[in-house]
Amino acid sequence: AFSLRNPSQPDDDVCYIVRGKPETLNSCNFKNTSKTFLVIHGWTVSGLFESWVEKLVAALYNREKDANVIVVDWLDTAQNHYVVAAQNTKMVGQETGLFIDWLEETARFPLEKLHLIGYSLGAHVAGFAGNHATNKVGRITGLDPAGPDFEGVHAHGRLSPDDAHFVDVLHTFTRGSLGLSIGIKQPVGHVDIYPNGGSFQPGCNMRGALEKIASYGILALNNAIRCEHERSVHLFIDSLLNEEEASRAYSCGSNDMFDRGMCLQCRKNRCNTVGYDVSKVRKARSIKMFTKTRGSMPFRVFHYQLKINFLGKINQLAMEPALTVSLYGTNGEAEDLKLNIQEKITPNKTHSFLVVTEKDTGDLLMLKFKLEESTSSLLTLLSSWWYGDSANSGIQVHKIRVRVGETQKKIVLCLKDPQTGSSTQDVAFVKCKEPWRSLSKR
């Protein structure tokens, strides 16, 4: 069933458009020149619409006042064992494709204005609908498309880039540690975005979820993993409501590289906006993109790459210190951010780190490092690193190069006071006089 929702009652099915009955287009006040959204839900245990549906409907009307927002109701077919519901997606997709053809023909509706938004199994329904429609639809957004029974299958058996002129996908629960990945891991669109690596979403209690799955099996999935799986929907809603605070994602070869801050480039379409306002970049292969987020709306964070060249004797042992960093800028500060050390720190090598802040600190003026829970012996050793205490033949840091993802600004920071005594825990770096120079070609 296809329910045209009303902006004043986003949670109510008050009017159904019925294929083959053109009078329902008029009675439901379908506007044939307006943007039209088809919202497609996923697997259901309860047989009822989940609360995100009305939130998404309201957010779409909030952004596009004159739109038609149609909710595709396949609850009866989706309320089955997962495997059966997954098999039913093809049939529901074909029915939706016929509805799209009828809409185009009867209402003379231009399909470039049609945007299908599918969550979980609904993303594959959207793919089958786009594939089955005679002419191509404008856009499909897949919100954490379901993984089981779709991962690794041929493009015709799942959502894929050829199902619409533009297909964008958010992956939020693709971890395989449960023996299966709830969301699909492989890229299935033109642009595939993996917030927080596509697995652990901040603010979701995964430990509790895993315990529930261990106790109750597959039936516990609906509640246990909703937070991570459904985060894809809320990221999209966020992009509709908080246009001025849109998250930015960055093209990267792997999440590991992204976690080292190696991918905060925007040249040649290497960065994009998360959600509704994504730039429609189409290439022969899927573009995999990554971003970090907060645990609640608005989800945007600010990304910084720190490039630090540790100088010292070659035979110096590689170290794994625990470090925090504080950023001080024209708009405020972000203090005690943990530096995620992905590899042992080695002398005479440039190490790259990713740091994220929840607030915009503005133009960076100063950066401070702090040692975390260090013993006095480690403190002495680390102090000798920063300051190059010749008695200890330590490792020196002269400069820190910073790239800010959101502004694309590049800054070089120098040691504020090279003469500082080595007993302090804080090491301050301030803006150098000389411009950024790339240390190495990547």
Name which of 66-70, 209-213, 273-277, 438-442 the model is least confident about.
Answer: 438-442
Give the tokens for residue 177.
Answer: 């540690």
Task: Name the pTM for this structure.
Answer: 0.90
Name which of 4-13, 333-342, 426-435 the model is least confident about.
Answer: 426-435
Give the tokens for residue 358.
Answer: 């929840």
pLDDT of residue 423: 35
pLDDT of residue 45: 81
Banded pLDDT at 419 (limits 50, 70, 90) = low
124, 132, 144, 351: which one is catalytic?
144
Q: CA 334 to CA 356: how far, in whole Å?
A: 9
Q: For residues 227 and 296, is the Cβ–Cβ distance under 8 A?
A: no
Banded pLDDT at 34 (limits 50, 70, 90) = very high
416 pLDDT higher than 80: yes
pLDDT of residue 237: 99
What Rg do the C-alpha atoms of the chain give, in angstroms? 25
Q: Is 229 annotated in the active site?
A: yes
3, 120, 232, 383: which one is catalytic?
120
Nearest to 333 by CA among 295, 364, 371: 364
- Residue bearing the bigger pLDDT, 369 or 162: 162
pLDDT of residue 396: 72
Work out the percent of the chain whose per-residue pLDDT is above 70. 83
- Residue bearing the bigger pLDDT, 120 or 210: 120
The contacts found for 8-14 with CB under 8 angstroms, 24 or more apart, are: 10/54, 10/55, 10/57, 10/58, 10/61, 10/69, 11/49, 11/53, 11/54, 11/57, 13/71, 13/73
If you ran DSSP here, which 8-state letter would residue 436 be given?
P
> Mean pLDDT score of the chain, rounded to an integer?
87
Banded pLDDT at 339 (limits 50, 70, 90) = confident
Nearest to 112 by CA among 39, 34, 26, 190: 34
CA distances from 116 to 55, 88, 259 (A): 16, 18, 32
Residue 209, amino acid: A
Average pLDDT over residues 72-93: 96
155 pLDDT higher than 50: yes
Give the tokens for residue 218.
Answer: 């597959």
Average pLDDT over residues 38-59: 95
pLDDT of residue 221: 54
Q: For residues 300 and 294, is the Cβ–Cβ distance under 8 A?
A: yes
Banded pLDDT at 322 (limits 50, 70, 90) = confident
pLDDT of residue 344: 75
Q: Which residue ranges make up each domain of the chain? A: 2-291, 302-431
Give the tokens for residue 201.
Answer: 């979403």
Banded pLDDT at 440 (limits 50, 70, 90) = very low
Nearest to 151 by CA among 132, 123, 129: 123
- Per residue in 298-314, pLDDT tens? 999 999 999 988 776 54
- Per residue in 191-238, pLDDT tens? 999 999 998 899 886 666 666 666 666 555 555 578 889 999 999 999
390 pLDDT higher than 50: no
Banded pLDDT at 177 (limits 50, 70, 90) = low
Feature table: binding site for Ca(2+): 158, 163
- Residue bearing the bigger pLDDT, 398 or 107: 107
Give the tokens for residue 106.
Answer: 């009867």
In the CATH scheme, what architecture does the domain 302-431 have? Sandwich (2.60)
What is the CB neighbour count within 10 angstroms for residue 157?
15
CA distances from 101 to 106, 155, 242 (A): 8, 22, 33
pLDDT of residue 343: 75
Q: Does domain 2-291 have CATH number 3.40.50.1820?
A: yes
229, 234, 303, 351: which one is catalytic?
229
Q: For residues 198 and 183, is the Cβ–Cβ distance under 8 A?
A: yes
Banded pLDDT at 362 (limits 50, 70, 90) = very high
If you ran DSSP here, which 8-state letter would residue 201 be given?
P
Q: For residues 64 and 143, is the Cβ–Cβ distance under 8 A?
A: no
Within 8 A by CB and 6+ apart from 40, the residues are 72, 74, 96, 116, 117, 118, 119, 122, 123, 125, 126, 129
- The pair phi, psi for residue 379, each rounded to 5°, is -60, -45
pLDDT of residue 92: 99
With tokens 């993303």, the residue in question is: 123
pLDDT of residue 107: 96
333 pLDDT higher than 70: yes
388 pLDDT higher than 80: no
Feature table: binding site: 158, 163
Banded pLDDT at 315 (limits 50, 70, 90) = very low
Q: CA 73 to CA 311: how far, in whole Å?
A: 63
- Residue bearing the bigger pLDDT, 351 or 110: 110
